[in-house]
Amino acid sequence: MLIGHLPAGYFLTRYLIKRQKLPLNKWWLGLGIVAAILPDLDYLYWLLSNDQADTHRGYITTYPIIYFILFLIALLIYFFKKSPWFKNIIIIVFTNIFVHFLLDTPFYGVKWFFPFCNQEVGIYNIGSYTNGRGILVQNYFTYWYWYLEIALWILAIISIIYSYKKRQFIDKK
């Protein structure tokens, strides 16, 4: 996905907030949305750096193993603290991060087995992006997955407008 992580994170976080019986507020939503795009924040560095020969997917921040280790550390902390708010943070943050990777897997691929295997696992090959592995897609912007991303944005905007009209967002000060 290129632009769909943010609305996907919005919908996933809304679901997790409801499931965990948390207040629907900007703090929880913001946390989930930031977590949903966290693996791609290195993209900003990549754009500003002079090293654009490779993609940003070569940076360690795009490897699931890093977030799995952080998840285990967070679980260890929770094991000793037993804080309900920390449990909710773990659920929202790491669910969004790993759904990000699941959404990236079909196109572009993800290094799910790093450090044991340095190859990206994916289904489709956009142009020559993944060195010829997978089903060739010449132009991502004319493929069904791109339209799925656009649909996610439209649905998210409609959902936000509807939620504001129904006054579903709660601000706790």
Does residue 55 belong to any structural domain of this protein?
A: no
Does residue 49 belong to any structural domain of this protein?
A: no
Does residue 46 belong to any structural domain of this protein?
A: no
Pair of tokens at residue 95: 């669910």
Q: 58-69 pLDDT, tens per residue?
A: 778 889 999 999
Q: What's the CA gap between 33 and 12, in Å, rounded?
A: 9
Give 3-state DSSP helix, strand, coil % of the chain, rounded to 5.
Answer: 60, 5, 35
Does residue 128 belong to any structural domain of this protein?
A: yes
Q: 31-66 pLDDT, tens per residue?
A: 999 999 999 888 777 777 766 556 666 778 889 999
pLDDT value at residue 19: 96
In which domain, by residue range, is 65 found?
5-41+61-165
pLDDT value at residue 55: 64
The amino acid at 64: P
> How many structural domains are present in the chain?
1
Calculate the CA 63 to chain-centre distance: 12
Does residue 111 belong to any structural domain of this protein?
A: yes
Whether this model's pTM surpasses 0.95: no
Does residue 119 belong to any structural domain of this protein?
A: yes
Residue 127 or residue 62, greater confidence: 62
